[in-house]
Amino acid sequence: MSRARRSSQFGCFAGVAVLFASAPAHAAGGAAEIASATSAAALEAILTANPQDKDAVAARARELGLAVLSFPAGLKGQHTETTRIAGGANPFRDCEKDCPVLVALPPSPKGFKIGTPESERDHMEDEIQVEVAIAPFAIAALETTVAEYEACVADGGCKPAEWREPGGQHNIETGSSRYYRNLGDNLTAPGQPIVGVSFNDAMAYAAWLTAKTGHDYRLPSEAEWEFAARAGTTTAYWWGDTLPADGAPRAACKGCGGEWDGKAPAPANAFAPNAWGLHNVHGNVWEWTADFYCEDYASGPRNGAPRSADDCAPVDDQPPSRGVRSMRGGSVFYSPKVMRSGMRARNVPDFRNFSVGFRVARTLEPIDH
């Protein structure tokens, strides 16, 4: 019998090992610490410090309605089993150089809804709520950075961003336009979010990471993006329904109160992350998702998958959208209402702009024991 089956019991959600176990005999101090933990973050800290306590931590997670995910990580041919408390904000990555930092997210709870209630201020007609069930997955803690994307360009997997395009009008060194050039280091610094990339460019980057690591990298679906941005909340932003009363900026937007507002994107790691470890889900740069955009959000898949067919139905007397992709999160150049968790935007897949970037997601594959 394998080590995993000796020490634990496994459930399975979309192929990911979800670990729940009965607590073994444990030192009094350690048992008390585990018993007093009340959050995924607290249990993740215990698990990181004391990996031998995985079974006891898993039992406590079950009591709290949390899950412990076991999945492979690392480069192809060198994968190792990795264990994380779902939603515990403990990052991992599949390679030290050029790979994004990821966090593992839990399955959505029963009754989870995407979209916004009509009572939410600035609610839009394309945000109609619907219940969905989302399997565990991983998502980048940061928007894809300049350094990460340019590694793909250097390796031949991606086209240059619009501001690096050889011979292009917007090339910041040889072009005639100042469209991007005026952003200076806020455009080109390695830790800045990459902008000037299309949906097609983002898909190429995910495909390059897949080939490089042997894992399924992709753009998140709209439902996954919203689930990750909310991090267990139902408010307009992960911190509440309005900008913080203490005046401390939590995001970069036109009116958020920070040094970048309306001027240029902030570094990808700017501001505190949400409870699941994601930075800049509100504001900074728009983020491409995998879906075709439809006005009727509630007609999409109920399992967290992206809308993969360009088959939108008319809504009232409006003709359906065709050939456009969804974007989320707002940007530094837009007002706070546009960066709400449920806010949706759209554009054609080859659109490039100084306020549009992306972050990647990764499927959590099953482990064979």
Residue range 180-230, pLDDT digits in tens: 999 999 999 999 999 999 999 999 999 999 999 999 999 999 999 999 999
**What does the pLDDT read at residue 275?**
96
Q: What is the mean pLDDT of residues 23-52?
A: 80
| Residue % of the chain over a pLDDT of 70 | 92
Q: Report whether pLDDT(21) > 60.
A: no
pLDDT tens digits, 116-129: 999 999 999 999 99
Considering the entire predicted model, what is its pTM? 0.91
Whether 100 contacts 91, CB under 8 Å: no
- Cα–Cα distances in Å, from 347 out to 168, 325, 353? 21, 6, 11
**Residues contacting residue 209 through CB under 8 Å, at least 6 positions apart:** 94, 99, 100, 152, 215, 217, 360
Give the C-alpha separation, 58 to 161, whole Å. Answer: 44
Q: Report whether pLDDT(19) > 80.
A: no
Query: 271: which 2 tokens?
Result: 């501001």
pLDDT tens digits, 141-189: 999 999 999 999 999 999 999 999 999 999 999 999 999 999 999 999 9
pLDDT tens digits, 300-313: 999 999 999 999 99
Whether 31 contacts 23, CB under 8 Å: yes
Query: 189: which 2 tokens?
Result: 């610094």
State the average pLDDT for the chain: 91
Give the C-alpha separation, 80 to 82, whole Å. Answer: 6
In the chain, where do the E strands start and end?
Answer: 9-13, 16-20, 68-73, 80-85, 102-105, 113-114, 130-131, 137-140, 217-218, 286-292, 325-328, 344-347, 356-357, 361-363
Looking at 163-301, list the stretches that DSSP marks H as alpha helix, in order from N- to C-terminal side.
185-188, 199-213, 222-230
Whether 84 contacts 102, CB under 8 Å: no
Give the C-alpha separation, 56 to 35, whole Å. Answer: 9
Give the chain's domains with CATH numbers: 1-99 (no CATH), 118-363 (3.90.1580.10)
Q: What is the mean pLDDT of residues 51-72?
A: 90
Whether 310 contacts 292, CB under 8 Å: yes
Whether 71 contacts 137, CB under 8 Å: no
Residue in this structure with the two tokens 């979209």, named with its chain if needed: 115
Q: Report whether pLDDT(2) > 60.
A: no
- Tell me which H or E stretch contains 32: helix 28-36
Q: Give helix 40-49 / helix 28-36 axis angle, nearest 10°.
A: 150
**What does the pLDDT read at residue 76?**
87
CB neighbours of residue 58 within 10 Å: 28
pLDDT tens digits, 255-273: 999 999 999 999 999 999 9
Give the largest CA-CA distance in the chain. Answer: 70
What amino acid occupies position 205?
Y
**Residues contacting residue 338 through CB under 8 Å, at least 6 positions apart:** 253, 330, 331, 345
| Residue 247 binned pLDDT confidence (cut-offs 50, 70, 90) | confident
Whether 352 contacts 162, CB under 8 Å: yes
**What does the pLDDT read at residue 318?**
83
Query: Lowest mean pLDDT: which of 107-111, 124-128, 242-246, 336-340?
Result: 242-246
Q: Report whether pLDDT(12) > 50.
A: no
Whether 56 contacts 31, CB under 8 Å: yes
Strand pairing report for 344-347 and 325-328: antiparallel
**What does the pLDDT read at residue 134?**
97
What amino acid occupies position 341?
S
Q: Report whether pLDDT(18) > 80.
A: no
pLDDT tens digits, 322-338: 999 999 999 999 999 99
Q: How many whole angstroms from its chain centre is CA 222?
A: 10
The total number of residues shown for the chain amounts to 369
In degrees, rounded to 5, the angle at the alpha carbon of residue 42 between the alpha carbons of residues 36 and 45 is 125
- Tell me which H or E stretch contains 150: helix 146-154
